[in-house]
Amino acid sequence: MKKDLEQLKDDFLALVDKVTDRESLETLRNEFLGRKGKLKAAMKEMAQLADEERKAIGKIANEVKEAIEVAYGGQEETFKKLQREESMGKEWIDVTQPVIGGESRGSIHPVTQVQQELEDLFTSMGFIIADGPELESDYYNFTALNIPPTHPARDMQDTFYVEGADGVVMRTHTSSVQIRSMRRYGAPLRMVAPGRCFRNEATDVRHEHTFHQLEGMMIDKGISLSHMKGVLEIVARHLYGEETHIRLRPKFYPFVEPGVNGEVTCFLCKGDGCRLCKKTGWLEVFGAGMVHPNVLREGGVDPDEYSGFAFGFGLTRLVMLKYGIDDIRHLESGDLRFLKQF
């Protein structure tokens, strides 16, 4: 009997290597280990054996069964692996496809939210969205904007100069995109350019070395200050509601003439005066003016034919006002406790 059992095992081991698919593997296993299988049949005679011998044979039968199972398992694994490899060749995943019903993983940064809102507004008025580098040439950032190397205005916008790269600075404002856009698109032109700017600041709740602006420019024949006021009023009302007014007061910027400091009615007190507007009723949110002829010339636009206005919104400031953020440093901190609120 012992021999019969061992023969059974050898038979199985010989056959198992020859099967070529999972179905015949299953059949083979049943043939040996199934209820009406060979092992059961071989063990029928066990009942007639003496206790001692039955124990010994039982042990062998178990070992045979185990060996068959192991061989079966090994072969099954081989088939599974083959099947996996085959389907991997056929199936593919589009990793660019958006997750359907997936858990949302983040939120849009408040600066980006306000930026997108303004981009929508300006494109609806026919403005294009322009872009320029954050690491900018000294020329585009200052000189071309009527700020020659010796001009004191350079001190107002102290920036980060780059070691070993002469004439290159981290841009201090988005106004550098004015020149780039004029050169690229010519006149007439309507563009806005949102982006990151940098200044060498001693940081505190109101000052940060990195912040955002939104530049804008409109050039055409016969553009005047009233066009500028009209466009900026639309922006102010879009941001803070229909009753919002704007106030323009003279301010010097080398690249505009005349230049203005732009304020909007304080949205908190509606102009009565409160803590937010420091009792003035007005909030300062942009700088603007009629593009200086020298700047038009640098952009390749003839100032005798064309005129235009330009403006620069403090995007970061708009965001702080909108959400009542009292420390500018939160915005660039990357702190999730802050960002998850938006």
* Nearest residue to 256 via CA among 228, 282, 222, 220: 228
* Nearest residue to 322 via CA among 212, 195, 174: 212
Return the number of the residue (76 or 233) whose C-beta is nearest ligand PHE. 233
CB of 310 to ligand PHE, least distance (A): 4
Other beta carbons within 10 angstroms of residue 164's beta carbon come to 5
Distance between CA atoms of 259 and 287, rounded to whole angstroms? Answer: 8
H or E segment at 319? Answer: helix 315-323
Return the number of the residue (19 or 153) whose C-beta is nearest ligand PHE. 153
* Nearest residue to 313 via CA among 162, 206, 195, 229: 195
Distance between CA atoms of 111 and 240, rounded to whole angstroms? Answer: 16
Cβ(198)–Cβ(133) below 8 Å: no
Return the number of the residue (72 or 255) whose C-beta is nearest ligand PHE. 255
Return the number of the residue (39 or 256) whose C-beta is nearest ligand PHE. 256
CB of 282 to ligand PHE, least distance (A): 17
**Which residue lies nearest ligand PHE, judged by its C-beta?**
312
Return the number of the residue (32 or 286) whose C-beta is nearest ligand PHE. 286
Cβ(135)–Cβ(162) below 8 Å: yes
Phi, psi of 168, deg, nearest 5: -125, 130
Distance between CA atoms of 204 and 289, rounded to whole angstroms? Answer: 29
- Antiparallel, parallel or unpaired: β 246-250 and 210-220: unpaired
Provide the binding-site residues for ligand PHE, judged by CB under 6 A.
173, 175, 253, 256, 259, 287-289, 310-312
Distance between CA atoms of 91 and 87, rounded to whole angstroms? Answer: 6
- Antiparallel, parallel or unpaired: β 135-137 and 210-220: unpaired
The region that residue 152 occupies, defined by phi over 0 for left and psi between -120 and 50 for alpha, beta otherwise, is alpha
Return the number of the residue (72 or 314) whose C-beta is nearest ligand PHE. 314
Return the number of the residue (57 or 260) whose C-beta is nearest ligand PHE. 260
Return the number of the residue (37 or 133) whose C-beta is nearest ligand PHE. 133
Distance between CA atoms of 178 and 310, rounded to whole angstroms? Answer: 8
Q: Which whole-number Å values give the CA distances from 160 to 138, 154, 165, 216, 328, in the listed order?
A: 11, 12, 12, 24, 19
Return the number of the residue (68 or 217) whose C-beta is nearest ligand PHE. 217
* Nearest residue to 295 via CA among 190, 212, 217: 217
